[in-house]
Structure 1
Amino acid sequence: MRCGDWMSRRVEHEFSKLVREIRKEYVGCGPQQIRTRFVGPWAITEMTGNLTDVEKWMIDSEEGRRIIHETRTKMVKDIYKHAEVVEKLEKLVHAKLVTLFADINLASDVAITVFVFDRDIQSDARWFARSSVSRRTPVGSP
């Protein structure tokens, strides 16, 4: 793996941690597993282990599946309407959030959120990660 790829993965990891923290704050619990990949201006976040025990019980019926799907999808979109949440994401990737797409597959308990930014965050993540490493002060330096 090239150094730039490693740096980009580091920022993707930080993005995943931030999304998990946001979900915990606004939903009450976060996904069990989360992974983000940057592709051009997109941050694609895949989350597994999202459903609560009550939701797992509710998806046994068609009406329950409809309610959970609609509620989860709307709730996720509403979370990212909060200015303080958007600011945290934008600060991390140094780009403006343009829109997002969210969906959940209830049968497999996998949720995907695609964050669309105003520029290529994949390339920028490599540069910002490299520049933050180069600005670190060596141990013992003032």
Structure 2
Amino acid sequence: MNKSKGQIEAEISELIMKFEKEYIGRGPQNIKTYIIHDNILVKEKGVLTMAEQQLAKEEDGIKLIKQLRVKLIENSREILATLIKDITTIDVLAVHSDISTENGERIIVFSLSDDLEKKLKIKT
């Protein structure tokens, strides 16, 4: 693999942004990806729609937002895993996500079958 860690992180961020725009209808306002050994952490800011921001004012609304966003990631797990493997050439073992209705941030963690940092020959 001839790409740097930063190049792969940027490529993943761009890919996730494009995926969310196509699948959810809008992407986050800001996105940053971090490769951490055998994990990829994607941190998104500004992910709540205007409707979700209104729903987040009530406890039932918060539950609905979290259920919907978790279900969307679960339903697209195979697609996301394939996209990540296409970039990294490493299998994705698991996809985890959570969203904060307080500040509109979401994290997605991809657990990989191998240490991507080592594969990239990153010196820590």
Matches within 5 A, 1:1-142: 7-82=4-79, 85-125=80-120
Secondary structure, aligned partner of 2:4? helix
Q: Which has the larger radius of gyration?
A: 1
Q: Distance in 2 between matches of 1:124 and 1:106?
A: 36
CA deviations over 1:83-128 (Å, ceiling 9, x no partner): xx4322101011001111100011011100000111011232458x
Q: Do the aligned residues in 2 keep the contact of 1:43 with 1:114 (CA within 8 Å)?
A: yes
Q: Where do 5+ consecutive residues of structure 2 fail to align? A: none
1:119-141 deviation line (CA, Å, top 9, x unaligned): 011232458xxxxxxxxxxxxxx
Runs of 4+ in 1 over 6 A off after TM superposition: none
**Residues 21-80 of structure 1 deviation map (CA, whole Å, 9 limit, x = unaligned):** 111111111111000000111000000010000000111111111101111112112112
In structure 2, distance between residues paired with 1:125 and 1:29: 32
Counterpart CA distance in 2 for 1:62 and 1:93 is 39
Structure 2 distance, partners of 1:74, 1:124, is 32
Distance 1:93 1:24 in 2: 22
Q: Which runs of 5+ in 1 are unaligned?
A: 1-5, 128-142
CA contact (8 A) 1:33 1:48 kept: yes
- 1: distance between equivalents of 2:61 and 2:12? 31
User: Alignment length, in residue pairs?
Assistant: 121
